[in-house]
Amino acid sequence: MKGLSRREKASAFVACLVAMAGCGGRSAVLAEQAGAPDDGPRGDGTATGGGEAGSRDGASTDGTPGSIGCDAGIASAACVAQVVPTSFASVLAVDDKNVYWGSQGQTGASSFIMAAPRKGGAVVTLAQASPASMAADGTALYWTDQIQNGVFRIPAQGGEVVTLTPTSEGGCLALDDTNVYWVSATSVNRVAKAGGEVTTLVSNGQNLTGVVAQPPAVYWTQDQGIVQSIDGGHPEALLADAGGRWPSYGYSIGTGCRVLAAGGGAVYFGLESTASQYTLGAVSVSGGSPWTVLSLATFPRAVVANSTAVYTVDTTATAVAIEQTPLDGGATTTLVTPDAPWVTDIVLASDGTLYWTTDVQVQSMKPGG
């Protein structure tokens, strides 16, 4: 960071973001531009107060972050965004244009939501916040907050932060075409993306460790099974008993929200099936008996899926690996082994690109690209 003042160094939460064009090591730097491109986030932070659902100020950048170098050698298919030591990368979200992540402050430092265009451009600060879970739909970014109770929304390009509901405990969050869903320690709730009345789908629930939307249904863990709500209707059991124990790291943040995934006509889940025996299971969205997709060394730290494959974060005492299992029954392969003790979150873009965070980096790859 030679040539930068102490203030500029303190504001440089992300130094660079490199997007892999595929698995062959091709890369492009996504930072150090004088400003965001026309279709990139701007982090205007121009809150006006009021708003139908209530609002609070967004945070704007102090300037384009300066470069502190870019380590592109962690893995043949990984890219890196380096975070300065006063913060760490936490939760993630992605849409067709942008990638978003939480830059969590340490030892009293402030926390922010960062954004960068996936095709290249300046890294900007969208809001000062401590997100527990985030999701994006191309128009806006939504999140629950670890510090301030509530569910929040900001335009994808930056601007006013709107409070959709100010009273809910922060937890895992998911979107469908019109609604935002989130779980707390004991409830599952829904509110329209535009704001309005909150509908509580479940109260006094147990083991609410994740939620995932796959229109027309939304799925979440509850008690020993998986519950669904189709077209916003009354909750009903998809799977009464998954046959094991849900992860104990709970609903609160990052990979703790990725216990469920949906794709290819099935819902996938990780659990401890028997003592020290861990599996990735699946059940059809039509119901019926579950099946085992694969066995794992530990709890699958996170599960994401699309129409062709399911991806798991498998963490042992000595290594972490991101693995791919084709839905057609092909062999499981290790895509990448990040040079880090853990992965804090992972998301899957609509074009099949994976994004994940370690404690100090944002990385991505496109399997088979």
Note the pLDDT of residue 369.
59
Output phi, psi for 12, to 5 deg: -90, 75
Map residue 254 onto helix, strand or coil. helix
**pLDDT tens, 77-95?**
444 344 444 457 788 999 9
The per-residue pLDDT of the chain, averaged, comes to: 74
Mean pLDDT of the region 118-137: 87
What does the alpha-carbon distance between residue 131 and residue 145 come to, in Å, rounded to a whole number?
4
> Of 247, 213, 217, which is closest to residue 233 (Cα–Cα)?
217
Note the pLDDT of residue 252.
52
Note the pLDDT of residue 253.
60
Q: Could you tell me which residue, 360 or 271, shows the higher pLDDT?
A: 271
Determine how β-strand 98-105 pairs with β-strand 112-117: antiparallel
**pLDDT tens, 145-197?**
888 889 999 999 999 999 999 876 778 899 999 999 998 878 899 999 999 99
Asked whether the predicted pLDDT for residue 355 surpasses 50, the reply is yes
Determine how β-strand 55-56 pairs with β-strand 333-336: unpaired
Mean pLDDT of the region 235-250: 77
Asked whether the predicted pLDDT for residue 118 surpasses 70, the reply is yes
| All structural domains of the chain | 6-365 (2.120.10.30)
Cβ atoms 163, 155 nearer than 8 A: no
What residues contact residue 235 under an 8 Å CB cut-off, 6+ apart?
188, 201, 202, 227, 228, 229
**pLDDT tens, 42-76?**
665 433 223 333 333 333 222 222 222 234 333 34
Spell out the alpha helix ranges (H) of the chain.
6-11
Mean pLDDT of the region 268-274: 80
Note the pLDDT of residue 284.
95
Between the two ends of the chain, the Cα-to-Cα distance in Å is: 33
Map residue 173 onto helix, strand or coil. strand
Angle at 216 between CA 189 and CA 194, to 5 degrees: 50
Residues 348, 350, 352, 353, Cα dihedral to 10°: -60
Q: pTM of the predicted model, to two decimals?
A: 0.80
Q: Which amino acid is at 259?
A: V
* Full DSSP string of 192-214: ETT----EEEESS-S----EEEE
**pLDDT tens, 12-40?**
323 333 332 222 222 222 222 223 334 56
Mean pLDDT of the region 296-321: 84
Note the pLDDT of residue 89.
75
Confidence at 109, pLDDT banded by 50, 70, 90:
low
Note the pLDDT of residue 87.
59
- Give bridge partners of residue 152 from the DSSP assignment: 143, 163
Note the pLDDT of residue 21.
29
What does the alpha-carbon distance between residue 253 and residue 273 come to, in Å, rounded to a whole number?
23
Sheet with 277-284: strands ordered across = 260-263, 266-274, 277-284, 291-296
What does the alpha-carbon distance between residue 58 and residue 112 come to, in Å, rounded to a whole number?
10
Note the pLDDT of residue 171.
85
Note the pLDDT of residue 223.
81
What does the alpha-carbon distance between residue 270 and residue 261 come to, in Å, rounded to a whole number?
9
Output phi, psi for 218, to 5 deg: -125, 135
